[in-house]
């Protein structure tokens, strides 16, 4: 299964992604995790990316597209993968489509984890990560609304989108995700 997992910051994507990985054989490709690792290792890419991350802005498409193109070439991706936090812009989605079309390995499904904005703000404010101060949170939600939410229409148009209600317990939400994916495996 090659899937994209889309949801606003604070929707619980990371938690649900861990569950999916544990239950099914898929590589977990989180661009946020890759960028944080690069930042902590103080690589040039990581330090550059951190200028954007710390402001709640998206890292430029060219950086992210190169990062994911390299990652998708790794052997663990052959058995399927879950893209978590990528693509986040239409340009990234188009680049991904082109890469996957060239390889003859199209996406199977795009899963949206839907959570209302007021609930997201509440959750993020309680999380305590460095990029979780109120102004940065606001910027990240704005980036989602303006740059990432348009992907929902994009993938809907391709017949790939499934939406799951992200309110409830971790168990309830995981059950909904598994039900939505049942027809795809
Ligand atoms: P995340 O852990 O997915 O919320 O990502 C944390 C931060 O990394 C985001 O707020 C962005 O600054 C950056 N980032 C992660 N993935 C992407 C992406 N696909 N495009 C641009 N920026 C990204």
Relative to beta strand 27-30, strand 161-165 is unpaired
Tell me, in angstroms, the distance from the centre of ligand 1 to residue 130's CA.
Answer: 13
Q: Is 25 a catalytic residue?
A: no
Q: Please report the beta strands in the chain, taking only residues with DSSP state E, as ranges in sequence order.
A: 2-6, 27-30, 81-84, 109-114, 161-165
Nearest to 67 by CA among 91, 35, 43: 35
The pLDDT > 70 percentage for the chain reads 99
Tell me: pLDDT of 88 over 90.
Answer: yes
Which DSSP letter does residue 73 get?
Answer: T
Q: Is 129 a catalytic residue?
A: yes
Gap between the Cα atoms of 144 and 150, Å rounded: 9
52 C-beta closer than 6 A to ligand 1? yes
Tell me: pLDDT of 169 over 80.
Answer: yes
Q: Is 138 a catalytic residue?
A: no
Residues 3, 110 contacting (CB under 8 angstroms)? yes
Give the tens place of pLDDT for each residue, 116-130: 988 998 888 887 776
Give the tens place of pLDDT for each residue, 34-52: 999 999 999 999 999 999 9
The residue whose CB lies within 8 Å of the most ligand 1 atoms, and thus the one to mutate among 31, 36, 46, 64, is 31
Confidence label for 75 from pLDDT (cuts 50, 70 and 90):
very high
Between 150 and 184, where is the model more confident? 150
pTM of the model: 0.95
**Given this model, what pLDDT does residue 46 score?**
97
Gap between the Cα atoms of 167 and 97, Å rounded: 30
Reading phi first (left if > 0) and then psi (alpha if -120 to 50, else beta), residue 2 is in beta
35 C-beta closer than 6 A to ligand 1? yes
Tell me: pLDDT of 131 over 80.
Answer: no
């Amino acid at each position: 299964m090659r899937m994209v997992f889309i949801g606003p910051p604070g929707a619980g994507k990371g938690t649900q992604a861990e569950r999916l990985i544990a239950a099914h054989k898929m590589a977990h490709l989180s661009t946020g995790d890759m960028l944080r690792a690069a930042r902590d290792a103080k690589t040039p890419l990581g330090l550059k990316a951190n200028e954007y991350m710390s402001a709640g802005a998206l890292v430029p498409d060219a950086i992210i597209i190169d990062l994911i193109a390299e990652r998708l070439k790794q052997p663990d991706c052959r058995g399927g993968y879950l893209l978590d936090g990528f693509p986040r812009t239409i340009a990234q989605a188009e680049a991904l489509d082109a890469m996957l079309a060239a390889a003859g390995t199209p996406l199977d499904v795009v899963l949206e984890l839907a959570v209302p904005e007021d609930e997201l703000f509440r959750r993020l404010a309680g999380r305590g990560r460095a990029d979780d101060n109120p102004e940065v949170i606001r910027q990240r939600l704005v980036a989602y609304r303006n740059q990432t939410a348009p992907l929902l229409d994009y993938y809907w148009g391709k017949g790939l989108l499934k939406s799951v209600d992200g309110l409830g317990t971790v168990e309830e939400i995981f059950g909904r995700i598994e039900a939505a994916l049942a027809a795809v495996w």
